[in-house]
Amino acid sequence: QVQLVESGGGLVQAGGSLRLSCAASGRTFSRYGMGWFRQPPGKERDFVATISYSGGSTYYADSVKGRFTISRDNAKNTVYLQMNSLKPEDTAVYYCATGRFGHASSRYQEYDYWGQGTQVTVSS
């Protein structure tokens, strides 16, 4: 089975930075695209960022563009989300995900496997 484990969340002040990691196992990591989603308190889960199997293509939600960077290290079976200039509205549980595709995708429906999430809290 595909296993995804997020880490790196925590409490940070507005304007600060965090780096989230997602470690994958159970499949050939380098062949599949990956994505990050987040779910703020009381709201639906939203797309954040995605990266193709090779790392050659990336795509970001408008709300994080220019502040967040997604990357991957296929040798380590890990995808990262570098979050800079954090805002209180970035507070959410962050999830990494993958599916049966190699491209970069923002479509929730294309993701079949999800991690348990990691909490990010940004204070004013």
CB burial of residue 13 (10 Å; 0-12, 13-18, 19+)? exposed
Q: Give the model's pLDDT for residue 31.
A: 86
Residue 44 in tokens: 């639906």
30-79: pLDDT as tens digits: 889 999 999 999 999 999 999 999 999 999 999 999 999 999 998 899 99
89-104: pLDDT as tens digits: 999 999 999 988 889 9
DSSP secondary structure, 18-47, as one string: EEEEEEEESS-GGGS-EEEEEE-TTS--EE
Q: Give the model's pLDDT for residue 1.
A: 76
Taking the CA of residue 90 as centre, how many other CA atoms within 13 Å lie in the half-sphere pointing to its CB? 32
Cβ atoms of 95 and 117 closer than 8 Å: yes
> Which residues fall within 8 angstroms of residue 28, CB to CB, at 6 or more apart?
none
